[in-house]
Structure 1
Amino acid sequence: MLAPRHIQCPYCGERIEILVDASAGDQRYIEDCQVCCRPISIDVWIDADDYAHVSASGEDDA
């Protein structure tokens, strides 16, 4: 079950669309920005209603 989600690149600020596999549960992975090609850390968590929430951060973010 792939769900489209929009995130903002922490480097270039562009809004990009990613596809999240909501059936895989909570996840953390790296995906390159489609505009500036820098690595974005993607955190995905699934709520009680099976909605996939996404957070994006850069390498320098703590």
Structure 2
Amino acid sequence: MIEDVEVTCPACWECIALTVDLSEGSAAYTEDCSVCCRPMLVRLEVAPDGDWQVDVQAEND
């Protein structure tokens, strides 16, 4: 299941859209901000009941 989510880039503070794949379960990966191109760590947590959340932080933190 693919979902779109809006997050705030931890480097430039712009609101950006990410597309996450919930069918793969929880994951952590690096993605570049579409505005400032700085890398950020994206953490996707998918619970067994289907609830999910996304957290982002600067890659160098």
What TM-score comes out, normalization by structure 1 length?
A: 0.89
Deviation at 1:47, TM superposition (A): 2.4
Write the letter of the residue equivalent to 2:28.
Answer: R
Structure 1: any 5+ residue segments left out of the alignment? none
Matches within 5 A, 1:9-28: 9-28=9-28
Q: Number of residues paired by the alignment?
A: 61
Q: Secondary structure at the match of 1:7?
A: strand
Deviation at 1:9, TM superposition (A): 0.2
Matches within 5 A, 1:1-62: 1-61=1-61
Runs of 4+ aligned residues of structure 1 deviating over 4 Å after TM superposition are none
Structure 2: any 5+ residue segments left out of the alignment? none
Deviation at 1:52, TM superposition (A): 2.3
- Provide the C-alpha distance between the structure 1 equivalents of 2:52 and 2:31, rounded to a whole number of angstroms: 17
